Amino acid sequence: MNDNLIQDIRKHISLTDSDIATLSRYIEQKSYKKKEYVLQENGFCRHLFFVEKGCLRMYFINDKAVEQIVQFAIDSWWISDLKSFNNSAPSDYYIQTIENSKITSISIEKLDHLLNELPKLERYFRIIMQKGFAAAQLKSKLMYEMSKENFYNHFCSSFPEFVQRVPQYMIASYLGLTPEYVSELRKKK
Amino acid sequence: MNDNLIQDIRKHISLTDSDIATLSRYIEQKSYKKKEYVLQENGFCRHLFFVEKGCLRMYFINDKAVEQIVQFAIDSWWISDLKSFNNSAPSDYYIQTIENSKITSISIEKLDHLLNELPKLERYFRIIMQKGFAAAQLKSKLMYEMSKENFYNHFCSSFPEFVQRVPQYMIASYLGLTPEYVSELRKKK
DNA sequence: TGCTTTTCTTAAGCCAGTTTAATTTTTAGA
DNA sequence: TCTAAAAATTAAACTGGCTTAAGAAAAGCA
């Protein structure tokens, strides 16, 4: 259990068996069925979520009452609303499973204690945050520079596994286009 | 000197005089005139840049040969192309001063050495990255949910100091709209 | 297997924001 | 103070992608 998390940490720092024992006193693990909520709106996002196995989406409801997906997460990805997490503020987002999923999570309080007890994990979480930030910068650049048609085609060729696993209308939402327009684009090809 | 950086670090962790001495062996400080480049395209972004004083913009050139601004930074903000920084890859961006500026920077190699010598700074940089990531998530949400008109008005009321300091066409670029359209929006008000 | 819900498609009309092109205003340097 | 460059404005024509509305196909479940 926690195999993917341990592996991911070990990509960046070394862990002894005792470190792992410490770690496991602070994290929680839970299985979720498809379409269960990991975070509800106006909940506070007090956790960082790590997908051991499965698939999640993070979305909010826009002013037209439509779900707007901002992030997906699959095996070995972290996901969270960091504004809510950092500031102990209510979240505008929902985080929901798309498939049956196994999620490891750590609360902000426990992260704090864990990092005091095992300071070398600061490094791991710094790297995680640095990579998450880099990914957000990259996505933002793509959204600035590409037409929606190009963005769609680019996404499909960059992440073919998503196109398999995730319904088309969710990919449309993530890319900021309507399902109708995606249909049109697919017909074109 | 480095007052703002030291202050910023001290918001998150404690620093002794000896820590500061160590730190200053790894960072560089330099003054730039208005419109000087801190990072040129196809340069590798090997540094994190901290604005002691002044104002920077980060941009790339899009396929229509137009500058596309993705980020500003003013006093006490960090700025960098993290994809290039993390992966030692060439950067698509330029980072340029908008005003005369004083910049503190640290290279990836020196950051690595610094963090080995002063591991408690891992915590500071984790927090910096976590906040940067949160800011990127927030901006992304605003771009998903707001019309360009609302995004412009929201920006002006959220960051009035920018509207003073930065030319209008740069704000237009950052918000992903044309200078002509911004003119129209201003006339409307 | 049949029923219900979810997902995807089609097509016409439409509009927020861009493009183009020209002019005016502001700023900065000599 | 003059001049050149940079920044902002105006207005008309245009378009990428959305909206609306309906129907078809696929998937889940009893």
Average pLDDT over residues A126-153: 98
In angstroms, rounded to a whole number, what is the distance separating the alpha carbons of residues A112 and A117?
Answer: 9
Q: Summarize pLDDT for B67-83 with one digit per residue, the tens.
A: 999 999 999 999 999 99
> Is residue A57 classed as helix, strand or coil in its secondary structure?
strand
Helix residue ranges, H only, chain A:
3-10, 17-26, 82-87, 108-117, 121-145, 148-158, 160-165, 168-175, 179-188
Query: DSSP assignment of A11-38, as one string?
Result: TTS---HHHHHHHHHH-EEEEE-TT-EE
The answer to whether the beta carbon of residue B169 comes closer than 7 angstroms to any atom of strand D is yes
Q: Each residue of A44-91: pLDDT tens digit?
A: 999 999 999 999 999 999 989 999 999 999 999 999 999 999 999 999
* pLDDT over 90 at A158, yes or no: yes
Of A133, A143, A145, A173, which to mutate for an interface test with B (greatest number of B Cβ within 10 Å)? A133
Q: Is B61 on the interface with A (CB under 8 A)?
A: no
pLDDT of the residue at B41: 67
Q: What is the pLDDT of residue B189?
A: 76
- Count other Cβ atoms within 10 Å, centred on residue A171: 21
Asked if residue A110 keeps its beta carbon closer than 7 A to nucleic acid strand D, the reply is no
Residues of B in contact with A81 (CB under 8 A): 137
Q: Which residues of B89-98 are buried (b: 16+ CB within 10 A; e: fewer)?
A: eebbbbbbbb
pLDDT category, A40, cuts 50, 70, 90? confident
What's the CA gap between B47 and B104, in Å, rounded? 10
Bridge partners (DSSP) listed for residue B28: B105
Q: How far, in Å, CA of A76 to CA of A143, rounded?
A: 25
pTM here is: 0.95
B3-43 confidence digits (pLDDT tens): 899 999 999 999 999 999 999 999 999 999 999 999 886 68
Question: Could you tell me the CA-to-CA distances from A33 to A56, A72, A99, A164, B75 in Å, in that order?
Answer: 11, 17, 7, 19, 47
Show which of residues 85-114 on chain B sit within 8 Å of chain A, judged by CB atoms.
Answer: 85-86, 92
The CA distance from B132 to the nearest CA of chain A, in Å, is 7
